[in-house]
Structure 1
């Protein structure tokens, strides 16, 4: 899971203080702003135009598998360049360091994540309009991925991966877990590999039932993102997780409860319930979810589009 760092002085570590050429950009690396299990994100500045700030993702690739994942991440971000709800990739480079390779992704800098906004709200909940505006932006990004052929599943949708851009729009980031390998896993060796991938690249609190238990023999596809969207919407509404994130049985049994307060419309609570259906086939796809959002308030003010 990503851990966001406070903007405070700290001792240098990693690549802090270095000047790096990435594509046509020459940048100075400042401080760590987020850390994950396989990469680190830094605040960086343009060496020529010092007022320009970037987010620099640094990934050390120790094998062909990790290098392949980085190349997939870059290709998806390039595919989605120009989408207003996807963090923009500005430059990238992969350097051969002998036994390892170092990948650098320069992206637009977004100062806040959705998780920091949620945690700083105190006791004040969002009103329904605010919730739907935020959720619209996330759904638009997911829509762009699921409309590809084959559909691209993000597989790690969570509040930490939703950032607030300088343009006021919410943007999806971190495409290191994406997959187009949609299938039902039957062979023990395939199941073992997939279980390992799920454990390494997905977040328990947002993980769909079919990912918790491959013996359900459900097809694992882009519908895992719909489940995660349901978990995300629950968290935006109630400032807590629908599931505690560590209980497999709780997820498999659909053991969650819609709180009595704050009180939201049945439209919103039904949308959560639809997305948190245990069987993937019972969940709406992203087109149907967008259609569910075609409610008078939404259709006039939010302008969702279809594939």
Structure 2
């Protein structure tokens, strides 16, 4: 998801009002809906099928690192295309402007994020059925990523990256942080590089203990998403974070408290506890998590339903 703050790196007029071709699509760019340091997201309308709307993500790639992130996002979205709980990528283009490159991603338009829904509910907590409906959608998307070979870790699962689609399903977005580089870091120089990546591309309040302290020398793999799912489930249930994201020791020790109210059943509270185990070896994988709640998930790589 994109931060709502001034966009400093676009042309003064932006893309508003322009008609552009992206792949085979002809679209008219409408108003800005989100902005970030190097990216801007617009509402766009299909000029052929005029009732169809899109989200157009415009990214200015000032260096190779940012271009690599964009290419990764495109690659993962293409790989997961067709999954009901992943935001659809319809078309994309990379334009070489000499000193910089610009990327255009035409995506499914979703008008709400989970954080917007949570913030607008006041004290109206979800009932257990609603909690599980939201959580199942995100877990189904994560299951599709984790069951690929090699497994893809999202690494930045959070309420801001869950969007409500026009079909009523919750959809995962923002795949620039993804990784298949699952390893245990031993050398100080490797640790320094990985710490910089973690700092830039993960969110403190959802960051797993093994990512906070590489000197623990624990395997960093898709289990970081399981921790983040535990944080996300806590947020959905109690409208606040299990960890404030600033207390490193609190997170390293898995030190949090489940509120007494609202009072959810043990299937939910036990799953939070299982996912928020400080050691990744003690957390369930996404298949075990589905079994705990008796959920069948769609496996993208096999094309069958797995339990």
**What residue number does 1:264 align with?**
264
Matches within 5 A, 1:63-142: 63-142=63-142
Q: Deviations over 1:23-46 (max 9, x none)?
A: 011212222222334422211111
Q: Do the aligned partners of residues 303 and 73 (structure 1) sit closer, same or farther apart at CA in structure 2, a change above 3 Å counting?
A: closer
**What residue number does 2:147 align with?**
147
CA contact (8 A) 1:2 1:37 kept: no
Mapped to 2, the partners of 1:288 and 1:186 lie a distance apart of: 29
**What residue number does 1:20 align with?**
20
CA contact (8 A) 2:231 2:242 kept: yes
Moved more, 44-53 or 148-157: 44-53
Mapped to 1, the partners of 2:13 and 2:244 lie a distance apart of: 33
Q: Do the aligned partners of residues 85 and 285 (structure 1) sit closer, same or farther apart at CA in structure 2, a change above 3 Å counting?
A: same
Q: Do the aligned partners of residues 76 and 112 (structure 1) sit closer, same or farther apart at CA in structure 2, a change above 3 Å counting?
A: same
Query: Deviation above 6 Å: which 4+ runs of structure 1?
Result: none
Query: How many residues are matched?
Result: 296
Deviation of 1:4 (Å): 4.8
Matches within 5 A, 1:1-307: 2-4=2-4, 14-294=14-294, 305-306=305-306
Deviation of 1:65 (Å): 2.1
Unaligned ranges ≥5, structure 1: 6-11
CA contact (8 A) 2:113 2:161 kept: yes
Q: CA RMSD in A?
A: 1.8
Q: Do the aligned partners of residues 187 and 38 (structure 1) sit closer, same or farther apart at CA in structure 2, a change above 3 Å counting?
A: farther
Mapped to 2, the partners of 1:265 and 1:124 lie a distance apart of: 18
CA contact (8 A) 2:60 2:101 kept: yes
Q: Deviations over 1:10-64 (max 9, x none)?
A: xx75332332211011212222222334422211111333322101111111222
